[in-house]
Amino acid sequence: MKRLLAALLTLALACCALPCGAGAGAGGDTGARAARQVLVMLRMPPPHFRPDSAYGSGYADDGSRAARRRQAAELAAAHGLRVVDDWPMPAIGIDCFVMEDADDVPLERVLDALAHDPRVAWAQPVNTYHGLDGDPLYAVQPAARAWHLAELHRAGTGRMVMVAVVDSGVDGDHPDLAGQLALRQNFVDGVPDVAEAHGTAVAGIVAAREGNGVGIAGIAPQARLMALRACWETAKQETLCNSFTLGKALHFALLNGARIINLSLGGPADRLLQTLIDAALARGMAVVAAVDPLRPDGGFPASQRGVIAVAQAGDRHALPPGALRAPGADIPTTLPGARWGLVSGSSYAAAHVAGLAALVLELRPGTAPLQLRSMLAPPLHTALAAHDADREQEQTGSIDACATIARAAGACVCRCPQTTAITANASP
């Protein structure tokens, strides 16, 4: 065992540095521009839309679209703005226009004016979001042990369940991810789709290949991944996203058959993203999000009603109401360039739960988001079993993966012989 730990520690030291992608500089510029931009929503007419395969989240161009573009141009001119981008979102009945200030008018004043314009459904800032990482740690504590992964995979592997990883770029050529991506799409304008650390690490935890002789096994190794790049990595190795890039990715997931949407990120509440998440939940899609431990409510989108909020197990911050805990410290996972390393943070705890949700949906395909949340929740007595307050706080909400999959499968999955023996000994 000591030899194994030493080998893994050496691997971590060699591999754990996170590279910045080729688009890091452009990504930083994207963030700076977003601070001077607003999103303006114009209502679409009710007629039917037709998704266009060449434009994943688009619809057939028609006169009404041209009319909305003219209207957007008029609105921009009237408020000292210019239109820089737009994206139709028929799933929620709006056309989203990005407008940028042209006259250094305070954006608060512009937003107030737009809010009173009857042509506008709503207007909002372009909010910024970030990946919820922690500091890399080097003690090896594989999640496979905590969750009895080998036993879980005898019951299910997430076969053909579509998981949308809305994140930074995923390395689809990684040995543990080759063949796991059903599709990939880049929603960060002006920056080529590149392999980045955060998205690659999250994707590996969800669905790394099993039994290929290298690396790790994902929680749901036969799930299918949508790699939806809505975030980018900066020169400081931060993972950033914004309202518009995330909105485009969420809308794409809505129209392209995702069963689970993983959001390993956090930031301020956002009306556009709230509307899209509500639409996903209404369509029976599960949404999993990382808890921001520095925010009392867990931050957005973890705080949104219906979202499965996940914090890192062992973190001593108070858990927001309804949130769950999953492995999120010292997690071996995939990194760009055929590498592996250790990562920590609630981003990676959320990825564990997205994978576990895929196992449940393979076993029970018709499970609704609310039912799924109930199946993931630990029994109340498990949360209260600890003897001291600190330990109890750390354990509250911790997922029992074996119990979750046993509920989904309708049969014992882990530790069955021991359970049988205890039951027999307890019989009179």
Domain boundary among the residues 126, 159, 191 is at 126
Whether residues 118 and 216 share a domain: the answer is no
Sign of the C-alpha dihedral, residues 5, 10, 13, 15? negative
Domain assignment present for residue 14? The answer is: no
Query: At residue 233, does pLDDT exceed 80?
Result: yes
Closest CA to 128 of 248, 260, 245: 245
- Provide the token pair at 65: 């679209």
pLDDT digits (tens, 9 = 90+) for 171-203: 999 999 999 999 999 999 888 899 999 999 999
Q: How far is CA 382 from the centre of its chain?
A: 27
DSSP structural state of residue 259: S
Per-residue pLDDT, 330 = 86
Domain assignment present for residue 24? The answer is: no
CATH number where 108 lies: 3.30.70
Domain assignment present for residue 148? The answer is: yes
Whether residues 99 and 161 share a domain: the answer is no
Domain assignment present for residue 414? The answer is: no
Question: What is the Cα–Cα distance from 392 to 401, expressed in whole angstroms?
Answer: 19
Domain assignment present for residue 396? The answer is: yes
* Residue type at position 84: V
Domain boundary among the residues 62, 91, 126 is at 126
Region of poorest pLDDT, from 96-105, 307-316, 317-326: 96-105
Per-residue pLDDT, 398 = 87
* Strand ordering across the sheet containing 260-263: 181-186, 224-229, 162-167, 260-263, 286-290, 308-312, 324-326
pLDDT digits (tens, 9 = 90+) for 385-394: 444 444 444 4
Q: Are 68 and 127 in contact (CB under 8 A)?
A: no
Per-residue pLDDT, 378 = 77
**What percent of the chain stands above pLDDT 70?**
78
Which residues, 6 or more positions from 362, have their beta carbon under 8 angstroms from its beta carbon?
156, 157, 158, 159, 160, 161, 220
Whether residues 192 and 317 share a domain: the answer is yes
Q: Are 154 and 413 in contact (CB under 8 A)?
A: yes
Whether residues 208 and 68 share a domain: the answer is no
Rounded (5°) CA angle 46-51-53: 165
pLDDT digits (tens, 9 = 90+) for 325-351: 999 988 999 999 999 999 999 999 999
The domain total for the chain is 2
Query: At residue 49, does pLDDT exceed 60?
Result: no
Query: At residue 405, does pLDDT exceed 60?
Result: yes
Which one of 98-102, 158-162, 383-387 scores highest in mean pLDDT?
158-162
Query: At residue 136, does pLDDT exceed 60?
Result: no
Whether residues 103 and 138 share a domain: the answer is no
Domain assignment present for residue 118? The answer is: yes
Report CA-CA distances (Å) from 420 to 119, 153, 400, 406, 417.
Answer: 67, 21, 18, 15, 5
**Model confidence, pTM:** 0.84
Q: How confident is the model at residue 32 (pLDDT cuts 50, 70, 90)?
A: low
Query: At residue 59, does pLDDT exceed 80?
Result: no
**Backbone dihedral angles phi then psi of residue 384, each to the nearest 5 degrees:** -100, 5
Domain assignment present for residue 426? The answer is: no
Whether residues 136 and 120 share a domain: the answer is no
Q: What mean pLDDT is predicted for residues 28-50?
A: 72
Choice between 385 and 359, residue whose per-residue pLDDT is larger: 359
Which one of 62-66, 94-98, 188-192 scores highest in mean pLDDT?
94-98
Whether residues 115 and 155 share a domain: the answer is no
Query: Which amino acids are annotated catalytic?
Result: 167, 198, 347
Whether residues 340 and 239 share a domain: the answer is yes
Strand partners, 240: 130, 232
Whether residues 202 and 84 share a domain: the answer is no
Whether residues 107 and 249 share a domain: the answer is no
Whether residues 170 and 71 share a domain: the answer is no
CATH number where 274 lies: 3.40.50.200
Strand partners, 265: 131
Whether residues 255 and 121 share a domain: the answer is no
Per-residue pLDDT, 391 = 47
Question: What is the Cα–Cα distance from 332 to 386, expressed in whole angstroms?
Answer: 28
Region of poorest pLDDT, from 316-325, 333-342, 366-375: 316-325
**Backbone dihedral angles phi then psi of residue 317, each to the nearest 5 degrees:** -65, 150
What is the overall mean pLDDT for the chain? 83
Structural domain boundaries enclosing 59: 31-126
Domain assignment present for residue 183? The answer is: yes
Question: What is the Cα–Cα distance from 151 to 143, expressed in whole angstroms?
Answer: 13
